[in-house]
Amino acid sequence: EASGKCIPLAAVFGRGYKQTPLYVVNHGETGPIRCNRCKAYMCPFMQFIEGGRRYQCGFCSCVNDVPPFFFQHLDHIGRRVDHYERPELSLGSYEYVATLDYCRNNKPPKPPAYIFMIDVSYRNINSGLVKLICDELKTLLDKLPREEQEESSAIRVGFVTYNKVLHFFNVKSSLAQPQMMVVSDVGEVFVPLLDGFLVNFQESRSVVINLLDQIPEMFADTNESETIFAPVIQAGMEALKAAECAGKLFIFHSSLPTAEAPGKLRNRDDKKLLNTDKEKTLFQPQVNSYEALARDCVANGCCVNLFLFPNQYVDVASVGLVTMYTGGTLYKYNNFQVSLSDSNFLSDLRKDIEKTTGFDAIMRVRTSTGFRATDFFGAIYMNNTTDVEMAAVDCDKAVTVEFKHDDKLNEDSGALIQCAVLYTSISGQRRLRIHNIGLNCSSQLADVYKTCETDALINFFAKSAFKAILSQPLKIVREILVNQTAHMLACYRKNCASPSAVSQLILPDAMKVLPVYMNCLLKSCVLVARPEIPTDERAYQRQLVTSMGVADTQLFFYPQLLPLHSLDLKSDSVPAAVRCSEERLSEGGAFLLADGLRVFLWLGVSAPPELIQGLFNVPSFAHISTEATSLPDLDNPFSKKLKSILEHIQSQKPYTMKLIIVKQREQSEMLFRQFLVEDKSIYGGASYVDFLCCVHKEICQLLS
Amino acid sequence: MATYLEFIQQNEERDGVRFSWNVWPSSRLEATRMVVPLACLLTPLKERLDLPPVQYEPVLCSRPTCKAVLNPLCQVDYRAKLWACNFCFQRNQFPPAYAGISEVNQPAELMPQFSTVEYIVQRGPQTPLIFLYVVDTCLEEEDLQALKESLQMSLSLLPADALVGLITFGRMVQVHELSCEGISKSYVFRGTKDLTAKQIQDMLGLSRPAVPTQQGRPLQTSEQPVISSRFLQPVHKIDMNLTDLLGELQRDPWPVTQGKRPLRSTGVALSIAVGLLEGTFPNTGARIMLFTGGPPTQGPGMVVGDELKTPIRSWHDIEKDNARFMKKATKHYETLANRTAANGHCIDIYACALDQTGLLEMKCCANLTGGHMVMGDSFNTSLFKQTFQRVFNKGFNGEFRMAFGANLDVKTSRELKIAGAIGPCISLNAKGPCVSENELGIGGTSQWKICSLDPSTTLAIYFEVVNQHNAPIPQGGRGAVQFVTQYQHSSTQKRIRVTTIARNWADAQTQLQHIEAAFDQEAAAVLMARLGVYRAESEEGPDVLRWLDRQLIRLCQKFGQYTKDDPNSFRLSESFSLYPQFMFHLRRSPFLQVFNNSPDESSYYRHHFARQDLTQSLIMIQPILYAYSFHGPPEPVLLDSSSILPDRILLMDTFFQIVIYLGETIAQWQKAGYQDMPEYENFKHLLQAPLDDAQEILQTRFPMPRYIHTEHGGSQARFLLSKVNPSQTHNNLYAWGQESGAPILTDDVSLQVFMDHLKKLAVSSAS
């Protein structure tokens, strides 16, 4: 009886793309076997009865006939003889090949397409960004994702540049030269060409390379500084729609779209709104058109990846909206300079292009009786209350699902969850990915507290709080978070803990880090309204967290702090992380701090000179330049070790972390200190101890 | 005095003017009783070998409302250096440059033989001619290839400094940028959305930004090229690029499903072409040349939907008010045509398709702007290729036979007023004392704009005599008309051609025979025909025919000699003798009869009829027929079924068609191969003679006629049979005997029957 209900029940579905490919089940033309009533897919929860002729659905208990081709005898314990031969009977996750019924318009999908859309306004040309992108694409296009068994990628590519108008390029393989087609009717954009816009890179290689060579020159003497944005997305979407395929847009954009066009934005960043009821508007899109655009994009399987290079306010809340709803990724590089910060961007771009992605996806979560999915958080779009639509979904995106009881759960059968994702693979195959989870149910609250996962809880709390700030004042959201923490702990205290003095704070074992994590969440700049924090940064982080998986949120809210001065140069291991507090730092030490977006290399004033020599190839602390954004490649154990550590912490992370070198007692330390999350923050965030006291006080109140 | 025929011919050659009446009835009342209005056919730029232009400004009358040009009719006081305007009687000082004139030292414009003078004047900067190709890409591969070749060839015919531009269209409209090197660039527009000129210019980046540069930007102070140069480039600079670009043109790539027409955005394409020129080169000579291979099927100006199962509108549909798109499309093209005309540009339409292409709706584009209209079956025919080439023909002096932006100003003596004009022009709404309230054709003005014209472009101008009956004009008084045509010569020079003519007045009551003798029945027939065709554009066909009939009857009543109610006594004098026959053929012509013609064909025929000179117009009304036989040299014969004889070869010229018809026997001989036998060489020559003559016509006429070679019993013989007067039909075959002529299977009345009726009605005392 888990009706204490103080702990939210939530599941986070990452898309286990990183693991070895799943087994694929193909039932040919009949398609996947599904329960007649609840439409759940064949899975290990289906109970075969009557000698294998029928099966009972584990979710709705409906008894269905086994289709003749699927029939198999049962063994002595009532299990099908082919139990272990069939992934859908023995595994938690597997894939089905979907039939035409599962396809848009009942037509087999075409392979997806990637469209590269480059802002060629004055600033991007002048900064060299356009040239950088074009040069990089020349090599990246060879690395488009492909299915394991295939020689080359089926993904087609297209190119658009834009400033105040859109330039489409015809890169048909038969052409000697690419052709540019300008669409200046930005009020009502359309695709000017069909044939030759989306091409196979291998076939059109010479024309595409030619184009990428010419783009920077073509606009070399531009003085157009205004840009459009919504029409760019619209154009990309229309192109995909016309080509009848799903796909991704890669938009490289740098300024507030002020040109006269739909989705035109003005600078509405107003610090006066902070801590007022109107603060939430800063997180909402400025104009309605972006939401409608997002809906259209999702409906057409168009995912928008946005690379932002802002020097000032670009209204991330508005321009990033379509990206968020379409399952795209938002990248932001403040004050981007080609020579200094390009490695981050290029590595992000490379990863994003190479990433395996599912397109035009729709997710449905089914549960056994007694509870149901009530809320969904992530880079998703929902037209109704049950179907989660995603224009694209990749390995770094996670959807957090909140469940609620609507009846008693059965302790014997447990709680069953089946998450089915229908998507188009990179080769253009329509597939169904099925994840099945069976959870135990217990009437003992203590058991519930024992098995709870704090990392997942924080993920859920963060996502729900970040969603709530769209509709509620910040203050209330913060209060709710504190209250919930207190409630959960008070409930434990009341029902499970052994009696003890009221003044004593008792934390369940599995939740002992909850207060520290919760404090970190409360200190996140999204939930802190201070004029020093740029609005765009808050909107950006809000959006990032919304699609993050558990591991990512954990790191994001509680960064990893690794001591470097005590490295064991011989072993391959990464040093054990220490708590994020200034107390852990020492003048003679050097530390690495990573939160998933940035990695700081902190150097104490008296850090070991051999370490400094080894890492920077300079004789002393004073010689270290904090300008650098990367470390020199040096042939010594220190350097190699640090590189391997950096590589390790970077692996499996969706964003390439920006390296920032911080010297103790220098100006840049201020920023660094904000990440020492257990300490009192300069923006007024409580230290861990203070927060604990505060929570304790609340608990006492609740108990009395 | 020489005969009137000679007088008329001499005047036509010198001034390019032919009046319906060469002696004018001196009172308003009498003039209206003449039935045929006082009017003239004016060929403003008639080619004159013997007319070297003078290099100075014309001398104008100083009265602001007059501004007539000094001419041989003016009275000059050589001693006082004064001249009196013959239109308003204002006395004017000669300008200082004329200080040296005297009776023996006259400037050209005062010499009687220079009733027509051409001035070259210096006005404003000279801008090169502009040719904007608007090309349909929804064509069959073979057609497109032929068109591309023709266009490529045309580049070599353009003046080297002419600006040329290219717009292609299909489902989308592409404006090609011609200046860029390397990558080819075009601006694309949706074919379904009409845009204002301002929008088009904004979208093409032609409007200059209010704040050109921002701080910290490299200032582009160095030479700012003419802003439109991206789309319109001197042909000598980009002919290689453009040749390649044209060569690479592909058929419209958007898929066309079975049972559909390709989506063709002609309306938007034209609109963009007009907007482009409007924004960049207003009031300079420019040709928009539209090449289309089918009807507009989408967007503004669409003529038919894309479903093939719904055919394009026919006359039947129009009569039944079943032409869904016609009104809207016509309105779209009319708006465009008026804008184009206001900018002084012209639109040519080259429509080549087997089915209709929407000329009915688009006709105003060519009609109001003086553009050409060419209709053919395919771009891959010599008809199109030759015709297109002839657009760039040069005259005897090596200059293009095209002129632009003409402004025709007509001035009249006080006894006359201007009723209107019919031709490829628009009104400039110049009201003035000499403008009549009664309109004939495009009236209410004394000035018209002719955006494009060539040496044969001919306007019909109608006048009204306003002199009252009780204010007789003294004996020997003359009425005068001055035509002042300012235009841009193909060499881009600004020129002014001034023609001043005068005719005697006569009292119709006492001197009717003078007026009668000076009747120019050919000019009158064409002038009346133009009025009829003009009416036919807006009125029901039968109404127009009735009107024409009534006019003819009234004319016969007025000028015929007869005793009342005795048809047999009816006679017409020589100067009127051919007129009824012209009317008979006009009634049967495709200009007034729509039967058997599509709306597009009717529009096409009427377009040409409203601009050709008298000779060509007469051919159109009454085709000419030549006979070739062993009985004598080739001779013109009656356009009558009786002329179709077995041993004759006939050559018919209808202006639009050249038909060679081998009589029955000749055809048999030819089949037997006599022409190949040395002993029948004369037969070979006989066969060859009409071919040579036809070739001569084919090589000079614009547009090139359709060439039809047929024989007795051939299906194409219908072209001849439908034109000849059906004097023998299946109804009266046996009465006429079998030996002469060929019977025509028709119920149409013959000329004889027509004349009989006419006589009866003319002499009837009832009417």
Q: Are residues B487 and B412 in the same domain?
A: yes
Mean pLDDT of all residues in A160-176: 92
Q: Are residues B178 and B280 in the same domain?
A: yes
Q: Are residues B503 and B575 in the same domain?
A: no
Cα pseudo-dihedral B39, B41, B44, B46, rounded to 10: -150
Q: Are residues A89 and A173 in the same domain?
A: no
Of A184, A214, A225, the CB nearest to B183: A214
Q: Are residues B489 and B614 in the same domain?
A: no
Q: A393-432 pLDDT, tens per residue?
A: 888 888 888 888 887 777 788 888 898 989 998 888 898 8
Residue A37 maps to a domain: yes
Q: Are residues B568 and B440 in the same domain?
A: no
Q: CB A185 to CB B195 under 8 A?
A: yes
Rounded CA Rg of chain A: 27
Mark which of A383, A408, A443 sits at the end of a domain.
Answer: A443
Q: Are residues A122 and A89 in the same domain?
A: no
Alpha-helical regions (H) of B16-68: 28-33
Higher-pLDDT residue of A495, A221 = A221
Q: CB A185 to CB B193 under 8 A?
A: yes
d(CA B537, CA A612): 95
Return the SS3 of A466.
Answer: helix
Place of tokens 């490919």: A21
- At what angle are helices B751-763 and B541-559 packed, to 10 degrees? 60
Q: Are residues A225 and A349 in the same domain?
A: yes
Residue B342 maps to a domain: yes
Tell me which amino acid residue B78 is. Y
Q: Are residues B260 and B357 in the same domain?
A: yes
Please, which pLDDT band fits residue A444 given cuts at 50, 70 and 90? confident
Q: Are residues B461 and B546 in the same domain?
A: no
* Residues spanned by the domain of A327: 113-355
A177 touches chain B (CB under 8 A): yes
Domain tally, chain B:
4
Tell me which of B169, B173, B183 to substitute to probe the interface with A (most A C-beta atoms closer than 10 Å).
Answer: B183
Q: Which residues on chain A are in Cβ contact (under 8 Å) with B195?
A: 185
Q: Are residues A132 and A256 in the same domain?
A: yes
Give how far Cα A368 sits from Cα of A52, A92, A404, A438, Å. Answer: 22, 16, 12, 9
Q: Are residues A85 and A117 in the same domain?
A: no
Residue A104 maps to a domain: no
B205 touches chain A (CB under 8 A): yes
pTM of the model: 0.88
Lowest mean pLDDT among A8-22, A223-237, A509-523, B738-752: A8-22
Which two structure tokens, joined as six digits, stand for A31? Answer: 């398609």
Cα pseudo-dihedral B711, B717, B719, B720, rounded to 10: 70
- Check if the beta carbon of residue A315 is closer than 8 Å to that of residue A536: yes
d(CA B705, CA B654): 9
Higher-pLDDT residue of A23, A190 = A190
Q: Are residues B717 and B633 in the same domain?
A: yes
Q: A73-88 pLDDT, tens per residue?
A: 998 888 898 888 888 8
Strand partners, A74: A80
Q: What is the pLDDT of residue B340?
A: 95
Q: What is the pLDDT of residue A401?
A: 87
- Domain CATH code at residue A488: 1.20.120.730
Q: Are residues A313 and A368 in the same domain?
A: no
Q: Are residues B287 and B184 in the same domain?
A: yes
Q: What is the pLDDT of residue B180?
A: 59
Best CA proximity match to B61, nearest among B99, B103, B93: B93
Mark which of A389, A418, A443 sits at the end of a domain.
Answer: A443
Best CA proximity match to B539, nearest among B547, B529, B550: B547
Q: Are residues A389 and A520 in the same domain?
A: no
Q: Which residues of A562-591 are buried (b: 16+ CB within 10 A; e: fewer)?
A: bbbeebeeeeeeebebeebeeeebeeebbb
Strand partners, A562: A592
Which two structure tokens, joined as six digits, stand for A359? Answer: 């397109």
∠ Cα B407 B483 B391 (to 5°): 50
* SS3 sequence of B326-357: HHHHHHHHHHHHHHHHHHCEEEEEEEECCCCC
- Which residue numbers in chain B have pLDDT < 50? 1, 209-227
Q: Are residues A437 and A521 in the same domain?
A: no
Q: Are residues B643 and B615 in the same domain?
A: no
Q: What is the pLDDT of residue B40?
A: 96
User: Does residue A602 register a pLDDT over 70?
Assistant: yes
Residue A681 maps to a domain: no
Best CA proximity match to B379, nearest among B152, B590, B162: B152
Domain tally, chain A:
4
Best CA proximity match to B399, nearest among B722, B17, B710, B118: B118
Residue A107 maps to a domain: no
Best CA proximity match to B511, nearest among B26, B102, B169: B26
Q: CB B195 to CB A192 under 8 A?
A: no
- Domain CATH code at residue B267: 3.40.50.410
- H/E element, A96: strand A93-97
Higher-pLDDT residue of A351, A27 = A351
Q: B392-438 pLDDT, tens per residue?
A: 998 877 889 999 999 999 999 999 999 999 999 999 999 988 999 99
Return the SS3 of A657.
Answer: coil
Residue A630 maps to a domain: yes
Best CA proximity match to A365, nearest among A40, A597, A120: A40
* Residues spanned by the domain of B575: 520-622+749-766
Mean pLDDT of all residues in A360-383: 88
A260 touches chain B (CB under 8 A): no
Q: What is the pLDDT of residue A22?
A: 65
* SS3 sequence of A231-272: HHHHHHHHHHHHCCCCEEEEEEECCCCCCCCCCCCCCCCCHH
Q: Are residues A55 and A146 in the same domain?
A: no
Cβ of B392: how many Cβ atoms within 10 Å?
17
Cα pseudo-dihedral B635, B636, B639, B642, rounded to 10: -20
Best CA proximity match to B698, nearest among B381, B459, B398, B363: B381
- Domain CATH code at residue B695: 3.40.20.10
Q: A673-693 pLDDT, tens per residue?
A: 889 999 988 887 889 999 999
User: Ranked by mean pLDDT, which of A445-449, A499-503, B598-602 comes out on top?
Assistant: B598-602
Interface predicted TM-score (ipTM) of this complex, two decimals: 0.85
- Check if the beta carbon of residue B37 is closer than 8 Å to that of residue B440: yes
Q: Are residues A38 and A133 in the same domain?
A: no
Q: Are residues A539 and A586 in the same domain?
A: no
Q: Are residues B384 and B277 in the same domain?
A: yes
Q: Which residues on chain B are in Cβ contact (under 8 Å) with A185?
A: 189-190, 193, 195, 203
Q: CB B183 to CB A177 under 8 A?
A: yes
A600 touches chain B (CB under 8 A): no
Residue A25 maps to a domain: yes
Q: What is the pLDDT of residue A629?
A: 82
Q: Are residues A232 and A347 in the same domain?
A: yes
- Check if the beta carbon of residue B439 is closer than 8 Å to that of residue B462: no
Residue B214 maps to a domain: no
How many distinct helices (H) and strands (E) make up chain B? 21, 27
Q: How far is B276 from chain A (nearest CA, A)?
A: 14
Q: What is the pLDDT of residue B509?
A: 86
- H/E element, A423: strand A415-424
Strands in B423-571 per DSSP E: 426-427, 447-453, 459-465, 478-488, 494-506
Residue A106 maps to a domain: no
Q: Which residues on chain B are in Cβ contact (under 8 Å) with A177?
A: 182-184
Q: Which of residues 182-201 of A touch B (CB under 8 A)?
A: 182-185, 188, 190, 192-196
Strands in B137-273 per DSSP E: 163-169, 172-177, 184-190, 233-234
